[in-house]
Amino acid sequence: MTELPARDALRRRLRRRHAAEQRFRAYGVGAIGLAILALSTLLVSVVVRAIPAFWQYEVRLPIRFEPSPLDPEGVGAPALGPNYTGLLKEALRAQFPDVQGRSELRELGALLSTDAPFQLRERVLADPSLLGRSEEVPVLLAAAAGLYLDGGGGEKARARAGLSAEQVTWLESLRGEGRIERKLAQRFFRSGDSREPELAGVWGAVVGSAWTLLVTLLLSFPIGSAAALYLEEFAPRSRLTDWIEVNINNLAAVPSIVFGLLGLALFLNWFGLPRSAPLVGGMVLALMTLPTVVIAARSAIRAVPPSVREAALAVGASPFQVALQHVLPLALPGILTGTILGMARALGETAPLLMIGMVAFIVDVPSRVTDPATVLPVQIYLWADAPERAFLSKTSAAILVLLAFLAVMNLAAVLLRNRFERRW
C-alpha cells in the first residue's frame, strides 16, 4: 500500500519535469522567432527605404545645338566651356512659354540637376556632328523632383520634396507628355560623394574600404600569426609571457575609439602621415584587429595534435622546422578564418576612423593608399547627417552595400575553412 503514493509522487515529478522542459523549448523557439522577426523587420525597412536610391529620373528635352555658341572658332569642334546652361533654359522656355519672370525661370531651372549642363557638354564632345542639329536629349532631374515622383504625387509628396505648386504643375505637365523616364542609377555604383543627392555615389567609399582593408590584412595577418606562433611554440612559460597574454586578451576588449586616439597621436601627429588616407586607416584598424587575430591564431595552433610535432621531431626536424613547415600549414585555415572575421569587424568600425580625419568630404575615387578617401561606415554617417531628405535613401542603400561587403567577407572565411580544413 505504501508503494502507490510513492509511485504517484514520482509520476507527478516526471510530469512537472516534462512540462518544464516543454516550457523551456517554447521559450527558446519564441526567442529565436522574436530575433528573426526583429532582424527581418530591420532588413525590410532598410531595403524599402533604399529602393529610390537605385533609380533616377530623366527628362527628355528638345535641344537645338547652335554652332555659334558651341563652336565660336568655327572649326567644327565644340569648345570645352560654352554656355550649355543657356541651351537648357531655352529648351525649358520652349516647353513652358508662359513662364516669364526671373523667379519663375529660376524655379523651373531648379527642376534639373546641376549636372545637366555637363551631360550636354559630354554629349557634344563625344559627337561633334550634333552642331547645327536638334535632338531630344535626356537630362537628369534634381533630387527634389525625384522625391516627388517617387512619392506618387499629391500634396504630401510635394511637401516632402520641398517643391512649390508651380514646380509640381510643370513636373506633372512633363510627365503627362511622357517626357520623364525612370532609369537605373548607374552613377550610384560608379561615382564618389557629392553635395547633390542625385549625383552622390558609393563607389568611392567602396574603393576606400578595399584599400583600407588591404593595408589591415597586410599588417595584421603576418604580425598576428608570427606573434601567436612564438607564444605557442617558442615562448618560455614565465611571468613576462603571462603578462603579455593577459594584455592581449584585454586589448581585444578595448573600445575602438581608443585605437583612433592612438592613431591620431602616433601616425598623424608624430610620424606626419597623410590625414584621411587608407594607409593610416588600415594601420589603425590593424592595431585594433591584432588582438583578435592573435587569439584566433593561438587557438588554431593549439588545435594541431601533438602527434604532428612529435612525428616531425622524431624524423630529425628542428623546432623551427616543425613550427614553420608542419604546425603553421595545418593551423592556417583557422588563422585565415579568424583574420577575415576580425577584418569584417574592423570594416564596420567608424569611431577610430573619425579620429584620424576620414570623415572628410571626398569626391574623387582613391587610386592608391595615400589618396584621401572615406570608407562605407563613415559614408553612411555623413549621409545620415545630411539635411537633404534624398540622402535618406542613399544612406539605406549604402547600408545594403556594407552588408553585402560583410557577407562576401564571411563567405570567404567559410570557403577558406572548408578548403583547407583537416579533421582529426
- pLDDT of 72 reads 57
Q: Residue 423: its pLDDT value, please? A: 60
- Summarize pLDDT for 183-242 with one digit per residue, the tens: 998 889 988 888 888 899 999 999 999 999 999 999 999 999 999 999 888 888 888 888
What's the N-to-C CA distance of the chain in angstroms? 57
Is the domain of 224 the same as that of 327?
Answer: yes
**Is 234 found in the same domain as 300?**
yes
For 132, the 3-state DSSP assignment is coil
Same domain, 146 and 210: no
What pLDDT, on the 0 to 100 scale, is given for residue 69?
A: 61
The answer to whether residue 194 sits within a structural domain is no
Q: Which of 153, 185, 217 is the last residue of a domain?
A: 185
Do residue 274 and residue 402 come from a single domain?
A: yes
Torsion of CA 10, 16, 22, 26, to 10 degrees: -170
Count how many domains the chain has.
2
pLDDT at position 78 is: 59
Same domain, 385 and 238: yes
Question: Grid coordinates standing for 149?
Answer: 515622383
Tell me: do 140 and 231 sit in the same domain: no
Q: 180 and 262, same structural domain?
A: no
Indicate the length of the chain as a whole number.
424
Cα–Cα distance for residue pair 381/359, rounded to 1 Å? 9
CA distance 163 to 156: 11
**H helix intervals, 51-99:** 67-70, 84-95
Q: Do 243 and 313 touch, CB atoms closer than 8 A?
A: no
Q: Quick one: pLDDT at residue 397?
A: 92
What value does the CA radius of gyration of the chain take, rounded to a whole number of Å?
31
Flag whether 19 is in a domain.
no
- Residue 141 DSSP code: B
Residue at 298 is within a domain: yes
Residue numbers of the domain that contains 67 = 52-185
Distances (CA, A) of 209 to 190, 338, 359, 384, 405: 15, 19, 13, 18, 10
Phi, psi of 78, deg, nearest 5 = -70, 145
User: Which of 150, 185, 220 is at the close of a domain?
Assistant: 185
Under a CB-based contact definition with an 8 Å cutoff, are residues 266 and 278 in contact? Answer: no
Are 208 and 104 members of one domain? Answer: no
**Same domain as 136, residue 58:** yes
Say how far apart CA 159 and CA 179 lie, in whole Å: 23
Give the H or E element holding residue 195: none
Of 154, 185, 216, which residue constitutes the final position of a domain?
185
For residue 363, which amino acid is it?
V
CATH code of the domain covering residue 380: 1.10.3720.10
Yes or no: say if 320 and 382 are a contact pair by the CB < 8 Å rule.
no
Per residue in 288-326, pLDDT tens?
999 989 998 998 898 888 888 888 888 888 888 888 888
Q: Could you tell me if residue 109 is inside a domain?
A: yes
How high is the pLDDT of residue 320?
A: 85
d(CA 114, CA 116): 6
pLDDT of the residue at 31: 93
- Residue 4 within any structural domain of the chain: no
Say if residue 221 is in the same domain as residue 122.
no
Indicate whether 219 and 170 sit together in one domain: no
Would you say residue 311 lies in a domain? Answer: yes
User: In angstroms, rounded to a whole number, what is the distance separating the alpha carbons of residues 315 and 334?
Assistant: 26
Residue numbers in the chain where pLDDT is lower than 70: 1-4, 67-82, 420-424
CA nearest 85: which of 107, 59, 62, 115?
A: 115
Residue 27's identity, in one-letter code, is: Y
Which three three-digit cell numbers place residue 38? 526583429
